[in-house]
Amino acid sequence: MSARASGVFRSLGVFNYRLWAAGAFVSNVGTWVQGTAQDWLVLTQLTDRDASAVGLVMALQFAPQLLLLPWTGLAADRFNRRRLLIVTQATMGALALALGALTVAGAVQLWHVYVFAFLFGSAAAFDAPVRQTFVSELVGDDDLHNAVALNSTSFNAARMIGPAVSGVVIAAIGSGWAFLINGASFAAVLIALALLRISELRPSARAVSAKGGFAAGVRYVWGRPDLKAILGMLFIIGTFGLNFPIFVSTMAVSVFHADARGYGLLSSVMAIGPVAGALIGARRRPQFSTLAIGAAALGASFTLAAIAPGYWSFAASLVLVGWATLIVTNATNSLMQLSTEPAMRGRVMALRVGIALGGAPIGAPIVGWVANHWGPRWALGVGAGSGFAAAIVAVLALTATAARNAGEADDELAI
């Protein structure tokens, strides 16, 4: 049976997507290798277990998602996405190599990490919306939800490998080599982009004029109650729930007194749930009710993580946290892309990424402060609260939609 005929893996039957997925997987492994090493470097080598410093790194890395929002989505809508990806991916690779060289040379300081986090985040701000919308050019809208799910599978499969590799690399030869490995891994996705069959791409409508620009995207979303509800949920969860570097590193170091290998293993274990969830979700399109279920599950799984008595029970709870996070992020990605006009898709997805990650400058320092002063378990409690709050937003949105539909039905009967 072919990959396309099997249902779950049908997008892999498209040559361009198959090539892109292979390159992206290698690069994703490198990204997780660096992310784990960066948190470990800040928490244990450049500070004395200062969770607030980790939170500040996160804030600086994700702040550009909001600061550059007026330009990132419009760039994805107006310019050739393949060429733009080549620029952003090459830039992030060069930054990783530079930080790695500083660290290997023993010259790295905390402020260096802050600067590189902001620069990397700036490149990533342009990369994220174009990378997400580029998927539709690879497979078309009919298979978009399947490709999104397979992207998540690849990302989280890399997450199972990268942190564990990073832990071994850190323990054996140091954090700087982890950054160098990530820098080299960008070559895989750049080669994939160079080898794509241009004639087989499915380019969507472009925003041919800057008229309206970012403001037009905001007005478009403001007129869509469903999109506003999704963005509200993403802001709550992104601000207070997606602070995994703080949650996992502080629990590993301060509560379970794990070494670099133990920390890396926890981050890898967390990816088991998303991989399984993504493969299941690849078969069918998500519904809005999926968001309510996923957010409630996220709150419950964070609660279990907060009260986990030992290392392995905490690891098991992280599987559930990862699964629930996958449900929410995949559903928001598919629902927003499939329900948005093609010419607006880049700006809408930039808003999605900006809202989801741009809250980190607010939430990460707060969560880091809570971890420092009240303990890592209370920080996980903040994450649990974000899941439950987002679930309430989803339920209210579903209730409002049902009421509007009932009102429209009554109007039709009256006519």
3-state SS track over the chain:
CCCCCCCCCHHHHCHHHHHHHHHHHHHHHHHHHHHHHHHHHHHHHHCCCCHHHHHHHHHHHHHHHHHCHHHHHHHHHHCCHHHHHHHHHHHHHHHHHHHHHHHHCCCCCHHHHHHHHHHHHHHHHHHHHHHHHHHHHHHCHHHHHHHHHHHHHHHHHHHHHHHHHHHHHHHHHCHHHHHHHHHHHHHHHHHHHHHCCHHHCCCCCCCCCCCCHHHHHHHHHHCCHHHHHHHHHHHHHHHHCCCHHHHHHHHHHHHCCCCHHHHHHHHHHCCHHHHHHHHHHCCCCCCHHHHHHHHHHHHHHHHHHHHCCCHHHHHHHHHHHHHHHHHHHHHHHHHHHHCCCHHHHHHHHHHHHHHHHHCHHHHHHHHHHHHHHCCHHHHHHHHHHHHHHHHHHHHHHHHHHHHHHHHHHHHHHHC
The burial class, CB within 10 Å (0-12 / 13-18 / 19+), for 167 is: buried
Q: What pLDDT is attached to residue 206? A: 52
Please check whether residue 291 is in contact with residue 285, taking contact to mean a CB–CB distance below 8 angstroms: no
Retrieve residue 294's tokens.
Answer: 């996923």
Q: What pLDDT is attached to residue 73? A: 77
Q: How far is CA 330 from CA 48, 49, 149, 290, 335, in A?
A: 36, 33, 7, 10, 8
Superfamily covering domain 10-414 = MFS general substrate transporter like domains (1.20.1250.20)
Q: What pLDDT is attached to residue 3? A: 41
Q: What count of other Cβ atoms lies within 10 Å of the Cβ of residue 52?
A: 20
DSSP 176-228: HHHHHHHHHHHHHHHHHHHHS-GGG----------SSHHHHHHHHHHT-HHHH
With a threshold of 0.75, does the pTM exceed it? no
Retrieve residue 370's tokens.
Answer: 């809570």
Which residues of the chain are modeled with pLDDT < 70? 1-7, 204-212, 277-285, 405-415
pLDDT in tens, 134-181: 888 888 777 777 887 788 788 878 888 888 899 899 989 999 999 999
